[in-house]
Amino acid sequence: MQTRNPGKQLLAWMFSGALLLAGCASQQAAEKPAEFVNPRPGQPGHRAHEEWQGQYPSLESLRAFKVTRTIAPPAGFLGNLAYDPAGRLFLVSMGPPTNPSGPSMLYQLDPDSGKVTAQAKMPFQGDLASPVYIDGYLYQGVYHESKMYKVSVGAKDFGAVVKTIPLPTLNDLKLADESHPVPFIEFGGVAVTPDKNIIFHADDVGELITIDRETGSILNRVRTLKALGGIASAKAPDGRFLVLGNSDPRGSYCALSYPPTVSRSAQQKDISWAVLDGQTGEVLASLRKQNSPAYASTIALVRHEAVDGAPYGKFVFLATGEEGILTMEWTPAKDSY
């Protein structure tokens, strides 16, 4: 008889998800059999997790990481952000009951002043993943519904849900002998791939999963860190697909997309930042910021610049923290994983 042991199940959650951060052994990736896109524990070619907390800072690395601007979100805002490279900033607030102050709202903000230029009431409930902007639409994942909502942000139909895209579930991932209590894939961080599909970080299994943005079908899976909050994507000067992410190493299984409602202790401000190879999930560069002004939560790329001597360039991105919406810059050092 198979024993159902919820305690073990929880421990599996907590210790696979909460205490370990996935390191990546790229050599074994090549050995993975075709039938398992991403081998799970017990399957041939599985890559074991390693503890990862990010590299402690040096004076040089700290100077390469900074907040350049702060704007205020709408009063009481609790949610995530997305950015249109044309210069539009969008916020989507959590729905009830996660957000007790009202319905989920979509805002368009002037990224310079923070002024709300458009807003719409949204039907979303509970905790939400970060939205992403692609070609005139926001794609808003509601992971506990296993759905991605395609939302227009055009002037005439701002906030209109034009399509609902089914998302894969944990049962689609062929997890072998790995038990999870609920079928949905929990994810917070979402970004855009170079071919304008959607990549999200599956928290429970520590994978970057790429899906077709219009059908939700899985295009790629890659094992990576198990604890990422927000993610954003960029193209390296050498053409490599990069994923920028943040993580709370204190719990490792970080805050998903949900900003805390109480003041953070010093320990809770200890946030790790990583640049990942979007194709392999490997950590390329990292920085453990001990007094991070940003939560380990939603981020959106504003721009990515080539910098001499910096293999991964400079990331200019938006994040959220106690002080509001932060514009941040990071130029990761080489071999700082």
Partner 1 sequence: MRRACRLVVALVVAGCVTPASVPEHAEHDAHAEHDAHAGHAGHAGHEAQAAPGNDVAGGAYAYSGSTRKRASGMAFYALGGSSVSIKPSSTTFRITRVLPLPDGFVGHLAYDAEGRRLWLLSHGPPANTRGPSTLYELDPATGRVLAQKVMPFKGEFGAPLYRDGALYQGVYHERAIYQVAVADRARMGEITRTIPVPPLGSLNLAAHKDKVFRFPFFVFSALAGLPDGKLVTHSEDLGELLTLDGQTGKVIRQVGTQPSLEGLAAVPGPGGEPLLMANTNPHEFAMRDQLRKFLFRGEANAAPLAAAPPVEETGVVWMLLDPESGEVLSSIWHAPSRAKSGDVALIKHEPVPDTPYGRYELFALGQEGLLTIEWVPSNVAWSVIDRGTPPQ
- CA-based nearest residue to 91, from 321, 330, 335, 320: 320
98/258 Cα distance (integer angstroms): 9
Query: Interface residues for partner 1 in 272-331 (CB under 8 A)?
Result: 295-296
x/- binding map, residues 66-95, to partner 1, per CB under 8 A? -----------------------------x
Question: Judged by CB under 8 A, how many residues of this single chain contact partner 1?
Answer: 52
Closest CB 173 distance from partner 1, rounded Å: 8
| Binding of residue 239 to partner 1 (CB under 8 A) | no
The count of C-alpha atoms lying within 13 angstroms of the C-alpha of 68, restricted to the half-sphere facing its C-beta, is 14
- Nearer to partner 1 by Cβ, of 168 and 311: the residue is 168
Closest CB 63 distance from partner 1, rounded Å: 26
| Binding of residue 254 to partner 1 (CB under 8 A) | yes
| Binding of residue 202 to partner 1 (CB under 8 A) | no
- Nearer to partner 1 by Cβ, of 262 and 266: the residue is 262
The window from 57-65, 107-115, 178-186, 311-319 that contacts partner 1 (CB under 8 A) reads 178-186
- Using CB under 8 A as the criterion, which residues of the chain lie in contact with partner 1 when the complex forms? 1-4, 6-7, 9-11, 13-15, 18-19, 95-98, 100, 125-127, 144, 169-171, 175-184, 248, 250-251, 253-256, 258-262, 264, 268, 295-296
